[in-house]
Amino acid sequence: MPVDVEEDEPDVQLGGEDTELNELGDSEFPLYFTERNNRLYQADTATSPYPLPVDTPENQRVNALHKALYQLIGRANYIGPVTEVLAPQEGPRKIAIDLGCGTGQWVMEMAREFPHVFFFGLDVVPIATRYPEDNVQFELHDIGEPMRWPNGSVDLIHARSIFMTVRDYSIIISEAARLLKSGGMFLSGEWGSFPAFHPTFPQAMGDPRDYVPGLDRFYRLLHSVLATRGIIHAVASTVHQRLDVSGAFTDIHEHIFYMPIGTWSPDPGTQILGKRNRAALTKFMNSIRPIFVAAGESEADLEQLYNECWTEMYGASGLVSVYYLVPARRI
């Protein structure tokens, strides 16, 4: 198996003040985690359908993608009028919520950029840093369930790569509409269906099965397995429509970014992004593999499929992951 080796940077851990929330004790970890096939998963899947591991290799993948997205978007963690929405004001601190915060990278960086805003990171498992910034609080919460804040009390809600955490994305939009103040902002970021080619390449106009049949089959299989869990994969390209149909949002703008897979670009900086994305995609495929086995796929068939995918990821020029970033304002 070809492997891209990326050196993981150590997480920056900064001290934070005590909060009213209780810290999770070691004896409580079995309530949130379970081990299968030497990987760590969330223990309770009754409400949250999230299928991927929540262990160190998966967290490294998510952190690497966070760094790559920061570069891809333009050395930023957001797009749209975020600075306006989070501008300092007299009175109570403004509030921003990150849904499915994971390790808390986005929350921590935003908290440093906007120290006057109180940030809350929500996730169903406790994998965020134990040493948050003074204006950060991490909480355990299934984001498919109603949140504790009252109507119209939140200034910004961020939701990145959460489509696998809920069976009905409209729940997220409805809850964002309830929580956000008038003029508040919802910022969605989701990866599109795969495979895809950069629009400057002629392959973008054709059928992916003609160019990357292995990757096409992998993602068709992924969509099928996720569907059995009630997860709809094709969410990314519909978020702007869902926001519009809700009638609760305005200034809805869809921004599409193309993250290269591999080093086919002549630009050195883009080559670095492509190498990191290919490494992250390889980790993702390894994380999802046990789910395919549990669904009845044979190890021999998967080995052949994965080898085809890796050959295509290292040989197909113009191959990209498509990222949809959609900011919207609450009416």
DSSP for 244-288, written as a single string = HHHTSEES---EEEEEE-SS-SSSHHHHHHHHHHHHHHHHHHHHH
Residue 16 lies in a domain: no
CB 122 within 8 A of CB 100: yes
CB 239 within 8 A of CB 326: yes
Distances (CA, A) of 256 to 30, 122, 316, 322, 327: 40, 26, 21, 7, 12
What confidence tens digit (pLDDT) does each residue in 49-90 have? 888 888 888 889 999 999 999 999 999 999 999 999 999 999
What range defines the domain where residue 322 resides?
Answer: 26-330
Residue 12 lies in a domain: no
Phi-psi region of 8 (alpha: psi -120 to 50; beta: other; left: phi over 0): beta
Distance CA 295, CA 182 (A): 45
DSSP code of residue 34: E
Distance CA 291, CA 50 (A): 11
Residue 17 lies in a domain: no
**Residue 187 structure tokens:** 């910022």
Residue 133 lies in a domain: yes
What confidence tens digit (pLDDT) does each residue in 158-209 have? 999 998 888 889 999 999 999 999 999 999 999 998 889 999 999 999 999 9
Bridge partners of residue 136, in order along the sequence: 119
Distance CA 225, CA 94 (A): 40
CB 251 within 8 A of CB 329: yes
Distance CA 147, CA 169 (A): 15
Residue 299 lies in a domain: yes
Residue 114 lies in a domain: yes
Give the chain's domain count: 1
Distance CA 127, CA 61 (A): 14
What confidence tens digit (pLDDT) does each residue in 127-167 have? 888 889 999 999 999 998 999 999 999 999 999 999 888 88
What confidence tens digit (pLDDT) does each residue in 255-276 have? 999 999 999 999 999 999 999 9
Question: 161 in helix, strand or coil?
Answer: coil
Q: How much is the pTM?
A: 0.88
Question: 197 in helix, strand or coil?
Answer: strand
Residue 103 lies in a domain: yes
Give the domain CATH number at 100.
3.40.50.150
**Residue 329 structure tokens:** 């304002």
